[in-house]
Amino acid sequence: MEVRTVYSSGGQKRFPVRSVTKIETADDGSVTRTVLGGSKRKRRVSKKWRKFDKALFRMSKAQETAATEYRKRHERSNRRKKNGAVRDLGKNVMRAQRKGIKRMKISVW
């Protein structure tokens, strides 16, 4: 493995190594590449804010699930009856919210 360095007026800088790949050439000319190692990127959230960040992420996934579920129910109600989505509005919203809350892993009901 080779470490490249760049010299500038500010001093010495190094390029970070993302992964190490072994390249082998066979007798017939074919090339095989094998990834030997790579570093996973660290999560760029400070320890103080990790719980808050995780809660926000969970909430956004739950909202996405609830919105998708509501849209499916809305379209189904409209297909089944004239003005079906308007008639079933409360029921569709309630069931979609319930599914979103389950996704968030918070028990309310």
Range of the domain at 13: 5-35
Domain total in the chain: 2
**Is residue 84 in some structural domain?**
yes
Task: Please give the biggest Cα pair distance in the chain.
Answer: 74
Q: Are residues 53 and 98 in the same domain?
A: yes
Question: Contacts for 8-16 with beta carbons within 8 Å, 24 or more apart?
Answer: none
pLDDT band at residue 20 using 50, 70 and 90 as cut-offs: confident
Tens of pLDDT, residue by residue over 5-16, are 555 555 555 666
CA-nearest of 103, 105, 98, 108 to 73 is 98
Kindly tell me the burial class for residue 57, based on how many C-beta atoms sit within 10 Å of its own C-beta (0-12, 13-18, 19 or more): exposed
Q: What is the pTM of this model?
A: 0.56
